[in-house]
Homo-oligomer: A and B are copies of this chain.
């Protein structure tokens, strides 16, 4: 088991349960983003569907993971950059979604460029969603 799992849960005042440990481990092991369906398949019916929904919701509220915008109506989640031990500041993110294999990459180290939003809008968050073909699918 990944060493940071229990730490992260404790820091966020969450009970250490099987589902939370396992789901958090999936995020730590895999670089890319995960959809609800991915988790359901990978865990092999170990957890109830409802439990997965609630766990993801809890993780989002605590700022452990964040949801990634997509145009095809599939919600995906990825780990927040800094384990969010400091709380959940809404980071700006750059994501890449491969049209071919569907993998979503969370490019934490790419900075979001300034965007000239017209006056009148109060911007709190900017997400950049790039899509195309990833290195594995060239």
Contacts and interface: CB of A to CB of B under 8 A. Distances in A.
Contact of A73 (B75, B107, B112, B126): B75
A116 to B, nearest CB: 6
A113 B68 CA distance: 20
Nearest to A98: B121
Interface in A105-122: 105, 107, 110-118, 120-122
A104 to B, nearest CB: 11
Contacts of A110: 115-118
Interface of A: 66-75, 94, 96, 99, 105, 107, 110-118, 120-135, 138
28 contacts: A67-B72, A67-B73, A68-B71, A69-B127, A69-B129, A70-B70, A71-B127, A72-B75, A73-B73, A94-B115, A94-B117, A105-B121, A107-B117, A110-B115, A113-B114, A121-B134, A122-B138, A123-B130, A123-B131, A124-B131, A124-B133, A125-B130, A126-B131, A127-B128, A127-B129, A127-B131, A128-B128, A129-B129
